[in-house]
Amino acid sequence: MWRNTESTIRLFADNCVIYRNIINNEDMEKLQKDVDKLGEWAVENAMKINPSKSKAIRFTRARVKDPLTYSLMDALLPEASSSKYLGIILHSDLSWVDQVNYTVKKAWKAIHFTLRILKRVIVIPKH
C-alpha cells in the first residue's frame, strides 16, 4: 500500500493515517494522488474503506484557511477540527485543551468510582 506513495502512511490495526507537509498546491495535489492510490489499493485487494468514517484535518496556527477538498473514492472527506489518534486528541490549532479536558474527566470518573467502592467496603463510624 505505501510503496507507491510520496506521503507518509501510518497503519495501526484497522486504521490508516496518510499525511504530508503542505507548502504549496503541488503538495496538496500529491497528497490527493496518494489518497487516490490508497482507494485503488483497497479496491484491488478487496478491502473496504468507509469514506464516511474518514476525515481531513489540517494542523496549523494560521488564521486564513481555505477549505480542504480532499476526496476518497469519489466522496469528499469532511474537514474536522480534531481527531483522536492512538488515544490522543489532536486539535487542528495545535492546542491541547481537548486532550487535557478529556484526561481530567476520565481521572474524576476514576476517583468517584474508587470513592464509591471504598464507602461500601470501609464503614466509617459517625460520632
Say how many C-beta atoms besides its own lie within 10 A of residue 18's C-beta: 20
Q: Where are the domains of the chain?
A: 8-121
- What pLDDT, on a 0 to 100 scale, did the predictor assign at position 122? 65
Cα gap 73→67, rounded to integer Å: 19
3-state class (DSSP) for residue 72:
strand
CA 21, 24, 25, 26: dihedral to nearest 10 degrees? -70
> Between these two residues, 44 and 65, which has the higher pLDDT value?
44
pTM, two decimals, is 0.76
Q: What is the mean pLDDT of residues 47-69?
A: 85
CA atoms of 63 and 27, how far apart (whole Å): 20
